[in-house]
Amino acid sequence: QVHVVESGGGSAQEGGSLTLSCAVATYSEAVGRVAWFRQAPGKEREGVAEIVRTSGQTYVARSLRGRVTISQDSAKTTVYLQVNSLKPEDAGMYYCATGPRVCLIGALDSRCYNTWGRGTQVSVSS
């Protein structure tokens, strides 16, 4: 069955690093693509990064390249998001989502994703 469960959220220090985990269903074409999105209070949801489970191809939002890494374990049942050099602007609710392997809309587009986790909260202290 399709499922998405995030973990790893909490408090982190500005300038530090944080790793979030997303448990996903075993592979099928319906869950071939996994992404992380985030939303700060009062702001719109934005895409962070995505990965294609079969090929390992990744895409990171342009403004976050160099600080964000998305990866998966060898069994392809867990997807990780690592954020380095944390800034106060990184705080918010982080969501993991899954969708079909093939999406012709575009990179890191929320319309490609049909199943979402409940989210995990991240706070950044100075």
Torsion of CA 18, 20, 37, 73, to 10 degrees: 130
pLDDT in tens, 23-58: 998 888 889 999 999 999 999 999 999 999 999 999
Give the C-alpha separation, 101 to 111, whole Å.
13
AA identity, residue 71 = S
| Residues 6+ away with beta carbon under 8 Å from 9 | 20, 94, 120, 121, 122
pLDDT at 2 over 70: no
Residue 123 in this model has a pLDDT that exceeds 70: yes
Q: For 85-106, what is each residue's pLDDT tens digit?
A: 999 999 999 999 999 999 999 8
Total residues found in the chain within this entry = 126
